[in-house]
A and B are shown apart, each in its own frame.
Chain A
Amino acid sequence: MKKVLMGNHAISYGATLSRVQVIAAYPITPQTQVVELLSEIVANGELDAEFIKVESEHSAMAACIGASAAGARAFTATSSQGLLLMHEVLHWASRARLPIVMANINRAISPGWTIWTDQNDSLSQRDTGWMQIYTADNQEVLDSIIIGYKVAEKVSIPLMIVLDAFVLSHTYEPVDVPDQEKIDKFLPPYKPKIKLDPEDPHAFGGLTAPNIYMEFQYNHQQAMMEAKKIINEVGKEYGDITGRYYQNLSPYKVDDAEYVVITTGTISKTTNIVVDKLRDSGVKIGNLRIRTLRPFPSEEIYEQLKGKKKVFVIDRNISFGNTGIFFQEVKASLYNTDIRVPIFGFVTGLGGRDVTPELIEEIVNIGIKNEKPEEEVIWMGVKK
C-alpha cells in the first residue's frame, strides 16, 4: 500500500512489519515521531510488543540487550547525544553478538546546541562492532529495517540504519508499505540458537582471559566479513519480492564515467541531479553512493573505481585533526590495489548546512580542474 510518510514514520512501519517484540526507547529530537507512532501501534494492539519507556538511551540499549539475550526481537531508535550516551552498551550489544536493529537519525553533536544533520554521531560509533547502513530516501529507510533484521539475525551482529535529520526524518515522501504477509514470508520469527533459558542455563559474557578473548574478536570479524556478502544476498532476495533491490553500493552512471563522486545519505540524491546536468554538457561523471560503512565493501569499491581518472569524496562529517571519514575509508581501502588516481576529500554540510546542486557542481569543477588535491581537506561552503 502506498502511503505518504515522513522518514520517522517509515522507521516505525519498518519495525512494525518486522514484528519487533521489545522496544525500548527514549525521546530526542529529531527521533520523537518514531517512538510516538510505535507507542500508538503497540497501544492499539496492532503490534504484539512490549514497549519499555526507559529513563535514558543507555538504559534503552541495555534493555534491548537483555531482551535480545532472552530471545526477543528488539528495537530502538535514537540520535546524536542519545547515541553517544549509548556508546558503552553499543559495544556490549555487538560483542554479545545480539541481532538488535536500531535507527539513528544523523544529528550534529553539541555544543553549541544543534538539532540539524551531520554524520559525526553515527561515525563516532564506527568501531563499536555494529553494521551500519546509510540510507537516502524514506522507502529505503522502511525497507532497510526489515532487511536489517534478516541480515543481523543471519550473522548475529546488531545493525544500525542511519538517516539524515529533517532531510529525511521530517520530510514526507510516497512510500510503499509492503503487505505483512509478504514480509512474514521474508522474515520468519527470531529463533536464536542460544538464549537465557532456565531449562538450559548458561552464563553469557563472563570473565574472558587472554587465552580465549581474542578468538571471540576473530569470530566477530569473520562474521562481519561474511556480512558483506549476506547484505547483498538478502538485499537481492528482498528485491525479488518487492522490486526494490538494495546492495552495499548504489552506483549511478558510474559504468562509463571518468570521474566519480562518492557520497552517502541524501547528498547522493542531490548529486545524481548534478551528474545528469553535467552529463548533458558532456562531462563523463558518475556518483557512487556508499550504503554500507561496516562492513566496508572495499572489493566492490575497487571494482567500481577501476579505470577511473579521479575520485571526489564528499563527507558530511569531520575527524578533527585528519579528514572526512568516508574519504579516509575509501583511500585506505584502495592503498594495496593498483588504483593510483587522485582522490579529493571535501567536507561540507556540517550541522545541517544545505548542500545544494550548485555546491556539488563546484566540488566537481574543483576536482576536474586541479591535477591533484592541494589540501588534505577541502572545506566547501564555509566562512573562513
Chain B
Amino acid sequence: MTEKKKRKISLSIPAEEIMRPGNLACQGCGASLAMRYALKALGRNVIFDIPACCWSVIDGPFPYSSIGVPLLHMAFETAASTASGIRAATKVLGKEDTTVVAWAGDGGTFDIGFQALSGAAERNEDIIYVCYDNEAYMNTGIQRSGATPYGAWTTTTPVKHYKKLPKKDIIEIMAAHRIPYVANVNIAYPEDFIRKFKKAASIKGTKFIHVFSPCPPGWKMKPDDTIKVAKLAVQTRVFPLIEIEHGIKYTLNVKVNKPKPVFEYLKLQGRFKHLTEKEVQRIQEDVDAYWDYIMKKVEFSKEYAG
C-alpha cells in the first residue's frame, strides 16, 4: 500500500470504546449495541439519565457501571424532565458544551414518560432524547406498550388476543412538536446511526432519536438473529430510516428499491408465529401504505424545503 492510499482510510465508526466490557444485557440485546454506538458517536463529555427500563439493569449493580460516562438512574416517567434539570445545571455551572442525554425505553417514551417528553420538546430543551424501542415492557417481562406493533404477542396480549392496534407513530408525534431534529436509527446500520447521533449533538434544542432495538427473549427469536432481523426491518420497509428537521423537512436515509416481503421479517420472530396469512397480508398492506405516506412527505419536503 502506498503512503497516499494509507492516508485516505477514514473510519466511519470511531474506534474508541467508551462502554466498558461486561454488562447485564441478555444475549443478542439490541439495546446494548445501541448504547455502544451512541457512546462512540457522542464521546465522553456527556451526562446520561436513564429511567426505569432494561437499561436500569443492563448498566450493572451498584457500585458497578458499564457505560463509562456519568449516569443518573431515575424514576420511570422522568427521562425528559430530569434531563431538563441536568441541562439547566450545566448551563448555570458554565458547562454548556456537555451533551445531556435522556435514554429511555419505548414504555418510558410512548406511554408513561410521554407527558414529560412532550413538555421538554415544547420548551425545546437542549437535550438528546433517545428511545430504544424493543416494542414492549421488557424489564417487567414482555407486556404490551404503545410501541407494540399490530399482530404481536406479548404476555398481556396473549395469542388468543394478540395486539390488534397499531403502534404509535412516535416519529410523527415528535415531528409535530417542531423540534429541530427527529431521526430514527437501526443497530444494523451503524454508519447511519453514528452520523445521526453526531448530527444531533451538533444541534441546539431538543433532538429525538428513535432506535430500532430487537429483543431476542421478548420477540422470541434467536439471539444470533438480532442484526439479521434489524436489517430485515429496513429491507422490508417496516422501519424506514429517515430524519425530520424542524418538523417539516423529511429525508429518507436508506433507499429500499426492491423491498423484501414483510413475511421475511415476521417469520424469524416467535411473537408473530400465530398470524394467519390474511393477517400477514394486512400487515404487508399497512407497511406499504406507511411507506408511501412517508415517501410523499419526503417528496413534498424537496419542493418545500428546497
Contacts and interface: CB of A to CB of B under 8 A. Distances in A.
Contacts of B89: 21-22, 50, 66-72, 74
B119 A203 contact: no
Contacts of A72: 88-89, 92-93
A197 interface: yes
Grouping DSSP codes into helix (H, G, I), strand (E, B) and loop, the B interface class, with mixed when no group exceeds half, is: mixed
Contacts, number: 164
Interface of B: 24, 44-47, 49, 56-57, 59-62, 64-65, 67-75, 77-78, 80-93, 98, 115-116, 118-119, 122-123
A162 to B, nearest CB: 23
Chain B CB within 10 A, most for which of A56, A66, A69, A201: A66
A22 B81 contact: no
8 contacts: A54-B84, A59-B80, A63-B81, A63-B88, A65-B74, A92-B75, A201-B70, A204-B73
Interface residues of A, number: 43
A112 interface: no
B302 to A, nearest CB: 35
Given A22-B85, A206-B60, 4 more contacts: A48-B92, A52-B88, A67-B86, A203-B59
A210 to B, nearest CB: 11
A124 B36 CA distance: 43
B61 to A, nearest CB: 4
The 8 closest A-B pairs by CB, nearest first: A66-B85, A55-B119, A63-B85, A203-B65, A59-B81, A70-B89, A72-B89, A205-B73
Contacts of A366: none
B84 A24 contact: yes
A201 B48 CA distance: 10
B115 A55 contact: yes
A66 B60 contact: no
A21 B87 CA distance: 12
A62 B116 contact: yes
B81 A92 contact: no
Contact of A89 (B47, B78, B92, B115): B78
Contacts of B123: 52-53
Given A55-B115, A55-B122, A207 B93 contact: no
A49 interface: yes
